[in-house]
């Protein structure tokens, strides 16, 4: 890596920014695929920009529906969003890769917003903002929005972590390829791992709070807790790979604090905040349980063995 801090300024005039390859991994059902294709169609694109969906389903769900401006890449070696992202990046033609999740709806100006400010020569990744979809009115969606789960401004990680999550991140292809892309064979934590490796290699992570996508949160308790447990499995994997970076969340102090807050809020007749704190406690348990589980992604043989099971309706992050 060069140590130069010279910045690259976006040239003036329409279409002057670098072309971007938008890469989205997909594992879901036909309705999910339709929603994704509709969301991608709303992104304002310039010359050379491309939309790539890496289809991680057995049946090629997106391939059956896509057309026009969306290119579909099959990624079926393992059931892993990181495998799918690598496959999509391998098919891309541009020097900048924008990774987004299939359950996110991008703002129309997403691509322009990433180039609203100069990008430093040492910048390997730019983290955009992820908000909760305000159209979701269910209890768990409201809870997740209140906790700003995936926000890269003030969520669980925040800008001080130096991490960028794959729900909305623009990566310099040269940096991405120099590091070998995402680690495959895992279910969770690959984006944080890549951010750590970028830092070790001398690349910086910048933030673009104006580059926004809206994330559709899970609305079933089982699905939500499964997501938190998977985060726990990814956290332990990260802690083993980068010692001390992702310790287990303290269980007993967290439960005691949550219980005390629930009681206090109920005495003040603040029902929803008390329920939110109860979910905090349940989520803490799920994260600790997940911390004991394997982070390994199922491979082709395991997928074939489970061929009779229903296709999951969410891509593992």
CA angle 42, 11, 89 (to 5 degrees): 50
pLDDT tens digits, one per residue of 8-37: 334 345 447 999 999 999 999 999 999 999
Classify 150 as helix, strand or coil: coil
Q: Are 44 and 14 in contact (CB under 8 A)?
A: no
The share of the chain scoring above pLDDT 90, in percent, equals: 81
Report the relative pairing of strands 20-26 and 119-120 from DSSP bridges: unpaired
What is the value of pTM for the model shown?
A: 0.87
Give the closest residue to 277 by CA, choosing from 290, 291, 264.
264
Q: How confident is the model at residue 292 (pLDDT cuts 50, 70, 90)?
A: very high
Q: How far apart are CA 131 and CA 213, in angstroms?
A: 6
Note the pLDDT of residue 41. 94
pLDDT tens digits, one per residue of 256-270: 999 999 999 999 999
Note the pLDDT of residue 316. 39
Q: How far apart are CA 100 and CA 53, in angstroms?
A: 10
Average pLDDT over residues 71-84: 95
In terms of phi and psi (left: phi > 0; alpha: psi -120 to 50; beta: otherwise), the region of 213 is beta
């Amino acid at each position: 890596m060069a140590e130069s801090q010279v910045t690259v300024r976006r040239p003036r005039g329409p279409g002057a920014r670098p072309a971007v390859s938008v890469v989205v991994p997909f594992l879901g059902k036909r309705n999910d695929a339709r929603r994704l294709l509709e969301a991608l169609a709303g992104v304002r694109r310039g010359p050379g920009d491309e939309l790539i969906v890496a289809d991680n389903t057995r049946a090629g769900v997106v391939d059956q529906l896509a057309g026009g401006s969306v290119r579909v890449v099959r990624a079926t070696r393992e059931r892993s969003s990181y495998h799918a992202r690598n496959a999509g990046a391998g098919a891309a033609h541009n020097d900048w890769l924008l990774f987004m999740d299939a359950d996110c709806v991008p703002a129309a100006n997403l691509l322009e917003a990433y180039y609203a400010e100069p990008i430093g020569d040492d910048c390997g990744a730019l983290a955009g903002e992820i908000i909760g979809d305000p159209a979701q009115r269910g209890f768990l969606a409201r809870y997740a929005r209140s906790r700003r789960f995936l926000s890269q401004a003030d969520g669980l990680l925040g800008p001080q972590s130096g991490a960028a999550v794959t729900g909305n991140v623009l990566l310099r292809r040269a940096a991405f390829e120099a590091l070998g892309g995402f680690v495959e064979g895992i279910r969770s934590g690959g984006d944080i791992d890549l951010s750590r490796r970028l830092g070790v290699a001398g690349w910086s992570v910048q933030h673009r709070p104006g580059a926004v996508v809206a994330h559709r949160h899970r609305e079933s308790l089982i699905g939500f807790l499964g997501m938190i447990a998977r985060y726990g499995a990814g956290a332990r994997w990260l802690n083993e790979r980068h010692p001390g970076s992702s310790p287990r969340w303290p269980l007993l102090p967290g439960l005691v604090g949550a219980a005390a807050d629930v009681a206090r809020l109920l005495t003040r007749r603040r029902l929803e905040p008390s329920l939110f704190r109860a979910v905090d406690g349940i989520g803490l348990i799920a994260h600790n349980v997940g911390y004991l589980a394997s982070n390994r992604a199922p491979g082709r043989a395991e997928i074939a063995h489970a061929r009779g099971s229903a296709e999951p309706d969410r891509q593992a992050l």
